[in-house]
């Protein structure tokens, strides 16, 4: 995988604000990699994301993609709840919490 693709995905992830979430596909699309949701997942799985809001990335339908009941899934849910993200059952309320960035502002942040 080109380092530029990985860098773009991680830079965008850093911009997702608290209380909002992004899907793997949306993250890839915004990084200029349309249709590459699996690539976004692979980047997150393999990168050091300790200083990034990895917990703000969920499946397109709002589910946490980590194995159900795992400590990582429980941590992700707890972090999202602490940020005010609401769930219906096991799914994030995507209508309320999906990140809808202003594209011009996002481009300025990425250039800065």
CA distance 102 to 92: 22
C-alpha dihedral, 63 to 64 to 68 to 72, nearest 10°: -170
Question: What is the structure's pLDDT at 2?
Answer: 57
Ordered by where they begin, the domains of the chain are 3-106 (1.10.10.10)
Question: What is the structure's pLDDT at 97?
Answer: 98
DSSP code of residue 66: S
Residue 47 burial (CB count, 10 A):
15
Question: What is the structure's pLDDT at 15?
Answer: 92
CA distance 78 to 75: 5
* Tens-binned pLDDT, residue by residue, of the chain (112 aa): 558 899 999 999 999 999 999 999 999 999 989 999 999 999 999 999 889 999 999 999 999 999 999 999 999 999 999 999 999 999 999 999 999 998 777 777 666 5
């Amino acid at each position: 995988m080109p380092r530029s693709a990985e860098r773009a995905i991680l830079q965008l992830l850093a911009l997702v604000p608290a209380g909002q979430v992004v899907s793997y596909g949306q993250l890839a699309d915004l990084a200029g990699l349309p249709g590459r949701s699996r690539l976004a997942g692979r980047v997150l799985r393999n990168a050091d994301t300790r200083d990034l809001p990895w917990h703000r990335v969920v499946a397109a339908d709002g589910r946490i993609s980590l194995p159900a009941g795992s400590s990582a899934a429980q941590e992700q849910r707890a972090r999202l709840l602490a940020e005010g993200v609401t769930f219906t059952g096991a799914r994030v309320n995507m209508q309320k919490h999906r990140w809808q960035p202003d594209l011009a502002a996002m481009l300025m942040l990425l250039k800065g």
